[in-house]
Chains A and B, each alone.
Chain A
Amino acid sequence: MADASTGVLRPRINWQSLTTLAVLGIVGFLVLLPMVFLVEESLNVGDPMAFPPVEFGIANFVSILEEDLKTVVNTLVIAVMATVMAILIGFTLAWILTRTNVPGRDKLERLMELPYYMTPLVGALAWAVIAGPKSGFINQIWKAVGGTGDIADIYTHFGIAWVMALFEGTVAFVMISASMKSMDPALEESARVMGASKLRTTLTVTLPLVMPGVLGATLFVFAEMLGSFAAALVLGIPGRIYVITTAIWDSTLAYPPDYGRASAMGLSLFVVMFGMLTFYRRVIARGSFTTISGKAFRPRPMDMGRLAWVLFSICALYVALAVVFPIAALLMTSLQRFATVILGQAQWTLANYQVALSLGPVRTALLNSIMLGLGVATVGVVIMALLVWIIYRSQMRGRGAIEYLVMFPQAVPRLVFGLALLWAWLNMPVGLYGTLWLLALAYFTVMLPLGVRTLAGVVLQIDKSLEECARVCGASWGYQMRTVTLPLLKPGILAAWLLIFMACVRELGVSAFLMGPNAKVIAPSIVNAFATSGTELTAAMALIQTFTVIVALIILFRVARGMTKELQ
């Protein structure tokens, strides 16, 4: 049966180490090289455009503390406010949705993810429409009922933090509810059996067990908020409130662009965020061991009686503030000639959509974004699936290093990575800068963690013996991949594809730096439109982008449902 010659281990070229080296080389080139360029440029104290730099020093770093101290303070104040709000919201919602019998729990839990998919950019635009000074809807209503002056102004520290918390704080909810869900209900039940009241149980058992999760979420969210860009860009610049990300952005726009200063700020931000994330991982590794036991529990919810409807209103309020009002405001604005909330004065029109879809640059930008999404998702998923297989299923040496490299972009603020790529490709003797190809390459690089994590989740769910059994039945590696592995991976691959597609269509941080006059994409174009043309057109564009993402999202949920059915 077995052909004797096929099994002989011949001395031969070691394909495995060659493959590993090649993969390491390529991923390293994409991920690490831009960072090297960034470090070099941050130390450039001579002509900021000189490449390679001729004078080195740390003046760029020193000047952050001297000239940009106000920016640093702004960043900290806004990040702290946003984190506190995000954690309060996240904790409240997580507790309501995992531990109480609030009506419509499963549906509400689904809705909680929506603000994240709306993106902070769209959220910031929407809140500019709702609570902008003078023409904002709240102020319009206030004046219509006889008030004087403005009662709402979103172009403030608090306004920026508010939008960040609403649209980027979703992760706090996800993390805290995960730690609440993974807690064995028997831990609480035994406290009750010993005679502790509900309140006492919550204070002495529930809270201490959930604390590490909350602390972890706080660190994580704070790091995210430090690197947040969109809300500060839309809401901060009109009121001249600069945070570190918008300051980086601003110094590359100056003439001549000060890449040295931008790099120094970017690198400092990266180091701080990297430190926080490392600390976060420590906290998670050390603290939450008591509650995480591998399987997810569905704790018996506490009966809240009539209070359940109060809790329901809290959830509904959140959904209203983060989804319903923003979408409604954008919708109203986009359908009018001049945005007003006083319906008697409204002049309804579809002209904004017409303009958005026919205006050359805008239409091109949208098409470019969709094309990039399709291309990067399709090619990317294939490569990422291969990477996942190498990292999690093969016995190759060096797969740990590959995993580390692949996950690295996660630790770099998107905007800083964009800056690094910009500087790297400006100075590389390849004519990629200003083309869609560079954007595609950049998207692929920053999407690596997202894609690989999604695919890995599916791969790790598939019992290894399913593959082994195929081999024992006599299937070759290729036949096994075709008949067993890939069909089982299909839903996961589809989900990863859609996630990457969505992330590409809404990408801002990297695109803002790498977009060229002949390679426009939608998110930065929306920002430009907000700065240069009317709110009405911007709202139409934002809604078109959101609509594209929502369509992808609906397909994603369908796939996810099919997948859970199939794997049970």
Chain B
Amino acid sequence: MSTTRIEVQDLVVRYGDQVAVNGVSFTVGRGEHLTLLGPSGCGKTTTLRAVAGLEHPSGGSIRIDGQTMYDSAQRKNVQTEQRGVSMVFQSYAVWPHMSVFDNVAYGLRVRKLGAAAIKENVERALDLVQMRHLAERGASKLSGGQQQRVALARAIAFSPTVVLFDEPLSNLDAKLRAEMRVELRELQRRLGITSVYVTHDQEEALAISDRVIVMNVGVIEQIGTPEEIYNKPRSRFVADFVGSANLIKGKPAGEGLFAVDGGPTLKVTAPHRPHGKESEVAVRTAYIDLEPRPGDNHVPGKVRQRLFHGDFVQYVIDSPVGALIVRRPPVNLLGEGAEVTLSFSPEHCVLLEA
């Protein structure tokens, strides 16, 4: 038995003349939680909807559990309802004319389960999202967070092997979103569901995923674990979109070295094989220390601005490699105008692909 649940190959989706998804390929393993991350209009939702069968692609193939769901070469397109996937919609899509119970029971009734089995499965699903006490409530009388839970319960009630999430948390307020994030991750682990998750929130993507795909203008920029995406961004787009990074301009100066325009030469790492045309390195704002450490790159600097955020302090520091943003824990605060030595390891100085 293969460990691959979903296999997307060279997927292309067009809307009229516009290409929304332009040759996207990836696989999702059994029980894996994969996130498609990108700004709005990058094609992430369209990709997800194509997997669900809600968009008609114009090229490529989609396989779920080894079965071909879509294949442009074979002219094959399996209808949404026969793909056996489940989905949580951005708008929740909780049917307002049904009770909570009826909403959650829908997929089970479609599958013609007996009344007892339906009741058992619905109650189990509602228990998982702590909504059992509201089972008889009309769905139109629920708060946003409650609707979210109902949508989730409905999506898992018929024990699907694959669940697709289309920005399910984007309509919740920040606090609730953080809570649901934890619950979702917990639930996903417990049930061993394979899931594909779409979001534009990089924090959310890093926090809950096994692997992240960063997309931009219809193509994949980078695929990797959250740590890889954060620590080894491949392109300027990824470095900029995920987390916060300082971009330093210059050019490669031999193996592991980078000459900053009008400044010093830094020791850097290149995750890929450099070809000499690279012009930028990225340094995460969290990885810059204000105390010199052996083996690091050292640059003198002067604090221009200090912003106190509570969980961290953000400094803007003028230095020979340009103005750098540095985030530090909120202890040993430096005043504006203070002279410092910036220190960052070559491992965290990532040469970006040109």
Q: Which residues in B have their C-beta under 8 angstroms from that of A4?
A: 67-68, 76, 78
Interface assignment of B249: CB less than 8 Å from any CB of chain A: no
Contact present for B84 and A2 (CB under 8 Å): yes
Q: Which residues in B have their C-beta under 8 angstroms from that of A487?
A: 97
Of A5-13, A253-261, A527-535, which binds chain B? A5-13
Interface assignment of A355: CB less than 8 Å from any CB of chain B: no
Partner of A1, one of B68, B76, B82, B95: B82
Interface string of A479-506 (1 = CB under 8 A from B): 1000110011000000000000000000
Interface assignment of B222: CB less than 8 Å from any CB of chain A: no
Residue picked from A7, A566, A567, most chain B C-beta under 10 Å: A7
Give, as a whole number of angstroms, the nearest-CB distance from B94 to chain A. 8
Of B85-93, B121-129, B207-215, B240-248, which binds chain A? B85-93
Q: Which residues in A have their C-beta under 8 angstroms from that of B10?
A: none
Contact present for B79 and A7 (CB under 8 Å): yes
Alpha-carbon distance A566/B84, docked complex (angstroms): 31
Q: Which residues in A have their C-beta under 8 angstroms from that of B84?
A: 1-2, 474
Those of A437-484 within 8 Å (CB) of chain B: 463, 465-466, 468-476, 479, 483-484
Interface assignment of A148: CB less than 8 Å from any CB of chain B: no
Contact present for B90 and A473 (CB under 8 Å): no
A468-B54 CB under 8 A given contacts A7-B82, A463-B91, A473-B154: yes
Alpha-carbon distance A484/B111, docked complex (angstroms): 16
Alpha-carbon distance A2/B52, docked complex (angstroms): 13
Alpha-carbon distance A4/B78, docked complex (angstroms): 8
Those of A371-422 within 8 Å (CB) of chain B: none
Interface assignment of B77: CB less than 8 Å from any CB of chain A: yes
Interface assignment of B236: CB less than 8 Å from any CB of chain A: no
Alpha-carbon distance A315/B275, docked complex (angstroms): 80
Alpha-carbon distance A180/B289, docked complex (angstroms): 58
Q: Give the interface residue-count category, chain B.
A: 35 or more
Q: Which residues in B have their C-beta under 8 angstroms from that of A475?
A: 81, 106, 110
Contact present for A567 and B140 (CB under 8 Å): yes
Q: Which residues in B have their C-beta under 8 angstroms from that of A106?
A: none
Residue picked from B54, B65, B67, B93, most chain A C-beta under 10 Å: B93
Give, as a whole number of angstroms, the nearest-CB distance from A485 to chain B. 10
Q: Which residues in B have their C-beta under 8 angstroms from that of A66?
A: none
A488-B95 CB under 8 A given contacts A7-B82, A9-B75, A473-B158: yes
Interface assignment of A3: CB less than 8 Å from any CB of chain B: yes
A472-B85 CB under 8 A given contacts A483-B106, A488-B96: yes
A7-B77 CB under 8 A given contacts A2-B82, A469-B87, A488-B97: yes
Alpha-carbon distance A470/B82, docked complex (angstroms): 12
Contact present for B89 and A471 (CB under 8 Å): no
Give, as a whole number of angstroms, the nearest-CB distance from A304 to chain B. 37
Interface assignment of B319: CB less than 8 Å from any CB of chain A: no
Contact present for B140 and A9 (CB under 8 Å): no
Q: Which residue of A lies closest to B97 (CB)?
A: A487
Alpha-carbon distance A389/B80, docked complex (angstroms): 19
Q: Which residues in B have their C-beta under 8 angstroms from that of A6?
A: 78-79, 82
Q: Which residues in B have their C-beta under 8 angstroms from that of A488?
A: 95-97
Interface assignment of B233: CB less than 8 Å from any CB of chain A: no
Interface assignment of B59: CB less than 8 Å from any CB of chain A: no
Those of B89-117 within 8 Å (CB) of chain A: 89-91, 93, 95-97, 106-107, 110-111
Interface assignment of A568: CB less than 8 Å from any CB of chain B: yes
Q: Which residues in A have their C-beta under 8 angstroms from that of B140?
A: 566-568
Partner of B76, one of A9, A469, A474: A9
Q: Which residue of B lies closest to A468 (CB)?
A: B54
Q: Which residues in A have their C-beta under 8 angstroms from that of B53?
A: 471
Alpha-carbon distance A476/B53, docked complex (angstroms): 13
Contact present for B77 and A471 (CB under 8 Å): no
Partner of A465, one of B65, B68, B77, B93: B93
Q: Which residues in A have their C-beta under 8 angstroms from that of B52?
A: 468, 472
Q: Which residues in A have their C-beta under 8 angstroms from that of B107?
A: 473-474
Interface assignment of B317: CB less than 8 Å from any CB of chain A: no
Partner of B89, one of A468, A483, A484: A468
Interface string of A1-39 (1 = CB under 8 A from B): 111101111000000000000000000000000000000
Q: Which residue of A lies closest to B65 (CB)?
A: A1
Q: Which residues in B have their C-beta under 8 angstroms from that of A468?
A: 52, 54, 80, 87, 89, 93
Alpha-carbon distance A468/B54, docked complex (angstroms): 7
Interface assignment of B304: CB less than 8 Å from any CB of chain A: no
Contact present for B78 and A2 (CB under 8 Å): yes
Interface assignment of B83: CB less than 8 Å from any CB of chain A: yes
Alpha-carbon distance A463/B140, docked complex (angstroms): 14
Q: Which residue of A lies closest to B102 (CB)?
A: A483
Alpha-carbon distance A475/B83, docked complex (angstroms): 11
Contact present for A471 and B54 (CB under 8 Å): yes
Q: Which residues in B have their C-beta under 8 angstroms from that of A3?
A: 82
Q: Which residue of A lies closest to B77 (CB)?
A: A7
Q: Which residues in B have their C-beta under 8 angstroms from that of A7?
A: 69, 76-79, 82
Q: Which residues in A have their C-beta under 8 angstroms from that of B79?
A: 6-7, 471
Contact present for B83 and A2 (CB under 8 Å): yes
Contact present for A567 and B69 (CB under 8 Å): no
Q: Which residues in A have their C-beta under 8 angstroms from that of B87?
A: 468-469, 472
Alpha-carbon distance A55/B133, docked complex (angstroms): 81
Residues of A whose CB lies within 8 Å of any CB of B are 1-4, 6-9, 463, 465-466, 468-476, 479, 483-484, 487-488, 566-568
Task: Give 26 pairs: A residue, B residue, CB < 8 Å, sorted on A.
Answer: A1-B84, A2-B69, A4-B68, A7-B69, A7-B76, A7-B82, A9-B75, A465-B89, A465-B91, A465-B93, A466-B95, A468-B52, A468-B54, A469-B93, A470-B106, A471-B80, A471-B81, A473-B106, A474-B111, A475-B106, A475-B110, A476-B81, A479-B110, A484-B95, A488-B96, A566-B97
List the 3 shortest-distance A-B pairs measured between CB atoms, nearest first. A7-B78, A473-B107, A1-B84
Besides A2-B83, A465-B91, 4 other A-B contacts (C-beta < 8 A) = A4-B67, A9-B77, A468-B89, A487-B97
